[in-house]
Amino acid sequence: MSGEQWPPLSPLQTGLRGRCPRCGQGKMFESFLKLKPKCENCGLDYSFADPADGPAFFVMMFVCIPAAAFPLWLELTYNPPSWVHLVTTLPLILLTCIPPLQPLKGWLVASQFFHKAEEGRLARPTPQDKPVASN
């Protein structure tokens, strides 16, 4: 399988569904947020993937902030008892912040594969890279 050519697949289509970014068939996740060591279909090794805190960042910026605005509005508008916050705000925050984590992590891993992203390295200049002095 190592000599096969794989067509480029969209990181959105594969990553959001949790599918292998190379073949689009194998499942990427072993559990909710834990990646499998490799694809069971094509054998792609997922050791290249390091989305770090990316999924949590995107969820915090685009979901958690609006979800946290609701309890503030509720408190300032109606001043409800604490149990109302417990039965409205807690489920709202949990249901809007946890489910997007896996699709976002899958999208980031698939994007790393698609764009051949890797850790940055410092390179020493080679002789042809040195500037030429002009007179």
What is the C-alpha to C-alpha distance for residues 47 and 119, in angstroms, rounded to an integer?
Answer: 12
- Mean pLDDT computed over every residue of the chain: 89
pTM, two decimal places: 0.81
Place of tokens 């997922």: 46
Q: What is the pLDDT of residues 33-70, one digit of tens each?
A: 999 999 999 999 999 998 999 999 999 899 988 888 99
Q: What is the pLDDT of residues 13-22, one digit of tens each?
A: 999 999 999 9
Domain ranges, ordered by start, for the chain: 11-113
Determine the pLDDT at residue 119.
79
What is the C-alpha to C-alpha distance for residues 90 and 5, in angstroms, rounded to an integer?
Answer: 48
What is the C-alpha to C-alpha distance for residues 33 and 24, in angstroms, rounded to an integer?
Answer: 18
Give the torsion through C-alpha atoms of 132, 122, 112, 39, to 10 deg. 120
Contacts of 111 (CB under 8 A, 6+ apart): 11, 15, 117
- Beta bridge partner(s), residue 45: 38
Least confident of 77-81, 92-96, 106-110, 124-128: 124-128
∠120-13-2 over CA atoms, to 5°?
60
Confidence of residue 133 (pLDDT cuts 50, 70, 90): low
Determine the pLDDT at residue 121.
80
